[in-house]
Structure 1
């Protein structure tokens, strides 16, 4: 059977999840940065443990690998684009629905954060869980999609169907 590189059985699912997830992420970020103008307005306390605040992340997950230089900014942006292409090819070639859903979610997150890197030079983070002395890192919806997708990939690696028993 000929290997596919651009379009496969679950490509519509991966593409839909990637586009819809990215759009939701970007719409909320536009509201936080430009409509509510959080840089010039106070944080929003939604619950005693959940706030909406604005943090600019020049690194990757958990603020690792902070990049203050132009080279670092573009290196992370190019890495994100490369990762998105590899995720797409993996999604094109998959024959498993759970894997396709998981890859679509990871793709949505990669594209959402990639747009931030290209447009702002850094990622817009705004969801802050905290309670008393406990403080979780600040993240965004793209990060949520990536975590959910990664959880699906891990689940699939342990409990995947016949595809993994070859």
Structure 2
């Protein structure tokens, strides 16, 4: 794999990790626990989650941190195969790895993840949103590859 092939993946992952960690540190410093407020039409509150998504399995943050590290190792391994190349997949993996590392840092250092963005499905953070973007890009990549294999419009 050439050096430029790594660039997009690592750039996205590093940007996601930095923005996620900066935002969580700002929340921990400036927003009291359970404080709620609205800014630019979005609702925020500061919570700490010791489990996984939606507060499932509380008290297992470090276990999920280890699982995130294993996931990152798995992604780095499969990126070496010829089947996992291209703009969409590099972008997808960059968001997935960045989000996984962002939350793993919290889980392994603090035993919990700082969440603050209120959505209908719960309270999330920027790493969670990056993981969602990564999943959507992965699905899109699979669809595009399938369409290419059917020799449809995309060539």
User: What TM-score does the superposition give when structure 1 sets the normalisation length?
Assistant: 0.78
- Structure 2 regions of 5+ residues with no counterpart? 151-155
Match among 60, 67, 79 for residue 52 of structure 2: 60
Question: How far, CA to CA, are the matches of 1:57 and 1:19 in structure 2?
Answer: 23
- RMSD over aligned CA atoms reads 2.4
Q: How many residues align?
A: 148
Match of 1:33 in 2: 28
For the 8 Å contact 2:52–2:61, the answer to whether it is kept is no
Q: Deviations over 1:38-59 (max 9, x none)?
A: 22x83221255x2111111111
How big is each residue's C-alpha offset from its partner over 1:104-135, in whole Å with a ceiling of 9 and x where there is no partner? Answer: 00011000000110121011110013xxxxx4
Partner SS for 2:141 = helix
Q: Is the 8 A contact 2:35 2:46 kept in 1?
A: no
In the alignment, what sits opposite 1:82?
70
Give the Cα–Cα distance (whole angstroms) in 2 for the partners of residues 18 and 90 of structure 1.
16
CA contact (8 A) 1:21 1:145 kept: yes
SS at match of 2:71: helix
Counterpart of 1:51? 43
Establish whether residue 14 from structure 1 lines up as the match of residue 6 from structure 2. no
Matches within 5 A, 1:113-124: 113-124=103-114
How far residue 8 of structure 1 moved from its aligned partner, in angstroms, is 6.5
Measured after TM superposition, the shift of residue 101 of structure 1 is 0.4
Classify the secondary structure of the residue corresponding to 2:114: strand
